[in-house]
Each structure stands twice: as C-alpha cells, then as structure tokens.
Amino acid sequence: MAELNAEFRGYRSPLSTRYASKEMQYLFSDQHKFSTWRKLWILLAKAEKALGLDISEAQIAEMEKHVEDIDFKAAAAEEALTRHDVMAHVHVFAKQCPLAAPIIHLGATSCFVGDNTDLLVLKDALDQLLPKLVGVIKQLAHFAMQYRELPTLGFTHLQPAQLTTVGKRCSLWIQDLLMDERALRACRDNLRFRGVKGTTGTQASFLQLFAGDGAKVRQLDQTVTRLAGFERYYAVTGQTYSRKVDLEIVSALASLGATVHKMCSDLRLLASRKELEEPFEQTQIGSSAMPYKRNPMRSERCCALARHLITLQANAANTLATQWLERTLDDSANRRLTLSEAFLSADACLLTLLNISQGLVVYPKVIERNIAQELPFMSTENVIMAMVKAGGDRQVCHEKIRVLSHEAGAQVKQHGKDNDLVERIRADPYFAPILGQLSSILDPKTFTGRAAEQVVEFVTEEVNPIVALYADRVVTKSAQLNI
C-alpha cells in the first residue's frame, strides 16, 4: 500500500496539484528546464561553428538527437558527487553524445544555460499570462456594457453613498487590470537575453577561444541571441543578468495580485448583500454544516492566492539588494521558489478569475430593494429643490424633511422596519405641490450621473484597442476548475 501511495508521502505544491494550468506548470518543470539547457548548448555550438571553431555537423546532430531523453537518475547521481547541477548535466549529456562531448558547454559558464533558460521561461510565461489577462478584461467589458445602466448603491467607507451602476463599478476593476496588462506587456517587450558573457560578464573565455577577435565574440553574442528567439541581449552583465529584471517582473505580477484581491474582495462583499454572485455549480456544496450556503469560494481562492503573490515582491527585491559585486549564489534557492510561484500563482488567479467573469450573476430585484432603503435619504435635497421651485420656503422645507428623515431613520434602526420616508412625505399636506413629481424625483436612474456613458466611452476608447492587440490569442474560456 505504501508503494501505491508513494506520490502522496512527500510534499506536493498545491499550485501544481490544484490551481495552475498544465501549460504553466510545464514551463517550470525539470523536463523543460534541462531540455532547454541542451538546446542552448546546441545553439552555442552552431554559432561557434559558424564563426570558425572546429565543430562538426555530426557533433551537432548527435546533440540534437538527445535533446529530450534526459536521464534524471544519472544526473542526480552525478550531482550528488559533484555538488554542481550544471556539470552533472554536462557529464550526462556528454555520455549520451560521446562525439560531441569535447565541445559541449565550450567557453561557457553555468549561467549561460541557467540564466538564459530563466529568461526564455520568463518570456514564455508572460506570453501565457497576457492572453488570459486580456480574456478576463474582455469578459468583464461585456458584463460592464450589459449592466452599464443598472443603478446600484455606491459605497464610500463601506457606507451607502451616491448611486453608481453595476457596469460602472465593473469598469473600475477593468481599469486596474488594464494597468496590469500594460505593466506585464512592458516587462515582456523589455526582456532581453543574457547571451554569452562568460564567468564575470567580460567574455574573456570567448575572446580566448577566438584568438582575441573581439568582433567575432560580439557576433557570437548576437547570433546565439537571435537563434534563441530574442532580438536584443543585455549589453553588460556580471556573472548573471541583473536581478532587477526579476524584480520588475515579480513586482508587476504582485501588482496584478493586488488588483485581483481588490476585485474579488468586492465580489465577496456584494455576494454577502446578495446583489451579485460568482458561478455556482448545480452539485456544488457551500458548507458541510449549512446546506443552504452559496459561499464565494472562487473569489476567496483568488484572494488567498493573490495574497501569496503580493508577498513574493519582497523576495525579489531582497534578492536584488543582496547580490554582491558580480553575483552570489544566495539568489539560487530563492529564485527557484519565487519565480515559479509568482507565475503559477498569477496563472491560477487568472484561470479562476476567468471562470468567475464569464458566469457572474446579478440580482436586480435585490439591488432595487437595497436602493429603496437608502435612496429616500439621498433624494432629500432634490425634494427640497422641487418644493422651492413650487414656491415653498427652503428653510421651512429643510426642517420638515429633517424631522421626517429622523422619524424614518428611527423606524429602520430602532424597529428594523423598511425606510418609510417617502410615505411620510406623501402623507404630509405640506408637500402636496410636488406629489406628482415624487416618482421622477426618486427614479434611481436620475442619480447615476454619466455612469452609463462613461462605461461606453471607457470600453470603446480604452478596452477595445487592448483586446484588439491580442486578436485571436485572447483566452475567453476557462477549463473546469480543480477543487
């Protein structure tokens, strides 16, 4: 039995077993990492051969034949002896490729494969996240347009305030997500390759390989960069590319986490008021003890993962801050955790948020009832203005409204009854001149200002151009979520 359950006898990250997509998990897998190392050794050999070094096509072909078939047990055994992960994989690859063994890793330092692989993974991970993020934006934009005119209570200090609309509130979430898209796209567009820089970034080993020909060394850097799919490389590095790059990317991801947390906290508050709900499946159970409950578990999951994502920014900042001179190795273990968990957490947040955004449920009658409890108080200034226009004295009217408002407030707060201010106004002969106008005075749509127009302008001018950038790459459907 122990053997059958062996996979459950050690720690497994919930990001892998529950939350993140298989595609994002693969980017941070050992198979992808070490096969990319081998691809980089092949690119280096091809570029060195093109620039005149004695490397044969047969050697390159032999390496290409063994890119994916990695003997992980042999590599682990080698690393146990050498205490060096790169050299362990060099030795294993060399045994598989005896002809190419003399030229594998020629002139390179460990960070040639380590850092360049990280940069390739970061680029691909950003390319995976951005279409998902824009997919969420697109879904929410449809929702905002659909409900752009539906009045709802606005809140400041979590207290009822002037009315807004359901769609306008959603546009505030979208605006933050657009800022995240811009930041992540900038990270993606600004990302460069480390290239071939040598032990401390001076390219001394490559200069020796090419007999002091600096032009060839520079061309080697350019060629490997281009073969790896990058347009530019970092002109100067230490042994590693600057950890400022990691900080910029993780900071952008942490900022996305803050956006997700804010939006999903709003959804949870609205769910508690029964105005808005996330999708709830037919067989879903909200509570083991309370069968009636419909907990906002997806939004809660997003908040939980987002909090973890937000904290990772400090790790990236501290790693940059503590890189002594040309580099220290205390970044390695930290980055294995921070970079992978930042992307896996962001991926999980977006997958869940996409599921939420394509199935939000609005309850207009509940919203209408909640408005009815507060709008009479908010409309008192309009009532006063109408009475003044009908010939009334403002100060007298103000006192009448003040007394009636306090009486209605007592009914609500002390007796738990509905707000009956409107009925009290209708029953007072003083307000007879405006009774025919009360319905229009209390129409919630007259209290939302330009909210509906703002949503249309926002979606047309700011959202749609960003969605268009991604064309058919936008992810708009989420798979069934894991528990």
pLDDT tens digits, 361-390: 999 999 999 998 888 777 787 888 888 998
pLDDT tens digits, 431-448: 888 888 888 888 888 889
Mean pLDDT of the chain: 91
Measure the CA–CA gap between 92 and 86, rounded to whole angstroms. 10
Question: Domain for residue 397, yes or no?
Answer: yes
Q: Annotated catalytic, 157?
A: yes
pLDDT at 292: 45
Residue 87: is its pLDDT beyond 70? Answer: yes
Residue 14: is its pLDDT beyond 90? Answer: no
Question: Domain for residue 249, yes or no?
Answer: no
Question: Domain for residue 67, yes or no?
Answer: yes
Q: Could you say which DSSP state residue 480 is in?
A: P
Residue type, 424: R
Residue 480: is its pLDDT beyond 60? Answer: no
Measure the CA–CA gap between 275 and 150, rounded to whole angstroms. 12
pLDDT at 4: 64
Q: Which helix (H) or strand (E) holds 151?
A: strand 151-156
Is residue 207 exposed (0-12), middle (13-18) or buried (19+ Cβ within 10 Å)? middle
Question: Domain for residue 356, yes or no?
Answer: no
pLDDT at 361: 94
pLDDT at 470: 93
Top-confidence residue, 479 or 421 = 421
pLDDT at 406: 87
Residue 254: is its pLDDT beyond 70? Answer: yes
pLDDT at 377: 79
Q: Which of 272, 287, 332, 440 is catalytic?
A: 287
Low-confidence winner among 11-25, 29-43, 152-166, 273-287 (lowest mean pLDDT): 273-287
Residues 96, 102, 103: CA angle, nearest 5 degrees: 95
How many folded domains does the chain comprise? 2
pLDDT tens digits, 271-283: 999 999 998 654 4
The three-state secondary structure class of 154 is strand
Instruction: Provide the terminal-to-terminal Cα distance of the chain, rounded to the nearest Å.
Output: 25
- Dig out the tokens for 218 from the structure: 């520079």
Q: Annotated catalytic, 287?
A: yes
The residues with which 277 forms a beta bridge, in sequence order, are: 361
Residue 293: is its pLDDT beyond 90? Answer: no
Question: Domain for residue 253, yes or no?
Answer: no
pLDDT tens digits, 139-194: 999 999 999 999 999 999 998 888 999 999 999 999 999 999 999 999 999 999 99
Question: Domain for residue 105, yes or no?
Answer: no
Measure the CA–CA gap between 185 and 42, rounded to whole angstroms. 30
Q: What is the CATH number of the domain that holds 422?
A: 1.10.40.30
Q: What is the CATH number of the domain that holds 72?
A: 1.10.275.10
Residue 288: is its pLDDT beyond 80? Answer: no
Question: Domain for residue 403, yes or no?
Answer: yes
pLDDT at 372: 87
pLDDT at 217: 95
Q: Which of 157, 288, 415, 439 is catalytic?
A: 157
Q: Which of 49, 66, 96 is the last residue of a domain?
A: 96
- Dig out the tokens for 287 from the structure: 């509570």
Residue 5: is its pLDDT beyond 80? Answer: no
Q: Which of 60, 75, 96 is the last residue of a domain?
A: 96
Distances (CA, A) of 120 to 39, 114, 191: 11, 10, 9
Q: Which of 44, 69, 96 is the last residue of a domain?
A: 96
Question: Domain for residue 106, yes or no?
Answer: no
Domain range for 405 is 366-447
pLDDT tier for residue 48 given thresholds of 50, 70 and 90: very high
pLDDT at 280: 65
